Amino acid sequence: MPLTKKQLIITSDDFGLSKGVNKAVEKAWLEGLLTCASIMPGGAAFDEAVKIARRNPELQVGLHLTLVQGQSVLPHAQIPDLVNEAGCFSDNPVASGMRYFFNKGLYKQLLREIEAQIQRVADTGIPLSHVDGHLNIHLHPTVFGFLTELMPRYGISSFRLSRERLAHNLRFDQQRRFGKTVESVVFGALANHARPHLKQLEIRYAGEVKGVLNSGCMTEEYILQILDDLNEGLTELYFHPGILPDGEISRRMPDYRHEEELAAITSRRIRQRLAELNIELVNYRGDTKEYA
């Protein structure tokens, strides 16, 4: 039997975070390989991101759920135990994750904010196709439980199942071996928990997600190395492109290589290699994109 065709989703996270991210997203869509963008409803440049999405209707938009290191949609008065008076979530993902799991008193506020983030995008009229999360918070068991209720209600049909082969990553990038091992175990367990629920709900997901272990370092060199050994079927690569100077992304992600990631998405060498390997560019809806 013939092998399943390899398909690749190329996503930009943090759409709406800042002007530098928004400019990069539109450039990556018009001039590069981008097929999806995940929007932050509480981002300072959300309104601008909506305008970009409207003038590029074939760019698929998903929700970049933000419950840590970011801004809420609801005011402090409605979710006082989740954010400070300025509406900012904690910058500590581990402490936040523990609170969201063990403190059941937070559950109503969490559900209220999660639905408000979905609703803010829905109110723009932009079709919301998939869900992922800032620092992969969407896979947190408490958060994921709420999403299983909300996704069918809002017609969301796809989900980022954040799992990545550790050995394949380390073959090309030996940095952060211990950190990557921990992340691989944690996200692998969370993905195993989520998978049967997604299947029951008939929510689509990619077989593997590249970017979990090399977040902020998805450079042209690294992408060219991993393309030869992608799994059959559907794979997602997610990036954090940006155009500098941009104070917001430099403050929040000082070690991320935003412009190099944008260069990778618009790379002629990567485009040529995808063609040589007969890898099809798609989005979560299954729409194909010709190599730009």
C-alpha 281/C-alpha 292 separation (Å) is 10
Phi then psi dihedrals of residue 7, to 5 deg: -125, 145
| CATH code, domain with 136 | 3.20.20.370
List the end-to-end C-alpha distance of the chain, in Å, as a whole number.
32
Spatial distance between the Cα atoms of 63 and 111, rounded to a whole number of angstroms: 15
**In total, how many domains does the chain have?**
1
Average pLDDT over residues 122-151: 97
Q: For tokens 């059941």, what's the residue?
A: 104
**pLDDT tops 60 at residue 194:** yes
Percentage, residues of the chain above pLDDT 70: 98
Judge whether residue 202 has pLDDT over 50.
Answer: yes
Positive or negative: CA dihedral 99, 102, 106, 111? positive
Take residue 138 and report the two structure tokens written for it. Answer: 């969407």
Interatomic CA distance for residues 95 and 82, integer angstroms: 12
Mean pLDDT computed over every residue of the chain: 96
The angle that helices 19-31 and 46-55 make with each other, rounded to 10 degrees, is 20
Output the pLDDT for position 292. Answer: 65
The mean pLDDT value for 83-88 works out to 98
With 70 as the cut, is the pLDDT of residue 168 above it? Answer: yes
Is 155 domain-assigned?
yes
Q: Which two tokens mark 254?
A: 């000082």
- Residue 291 is predicted with a pLDDT of 81
CB 289 within 8 A of CB 265: no
For residue 1, name the pLDDT band (cuts at 50, 70, 90): very low
Q: What is the reported pTM?
A: 0.95
For the chain, give the percent of residues with pLDDT over 90.
97
**97-108 pLDDT tens trace:** 999 999 999 999
CA dist., res. 108 & res. 23, Å (int) = 36
Q: What digits encode the pLDDT tens for the residues 48-60? A: 999 999 999 999 9
SS3 label, residue 36: strand
* Dist CA 21 CA 244 (whole Å): 9
DSSP 14: E
Q: CB-based contacts of 120: which residues, under 8 Å, 6+ apart?
A: 41, 46, 73
135 located within any domain: yes
* Distance, CA of 224 to chain centre: 21
pLDDT (mean) for 222-232: 97
Domain range for residue 184? 6-289
Checking if the pLDDT of 3 tops 50, the result is no
Provide mean pLDDT across the span 158-182.
96
Alpha-carbon distance 150 to 117, whole Å?
11
Q: Does residue 1 lie in a domain region?
A: no
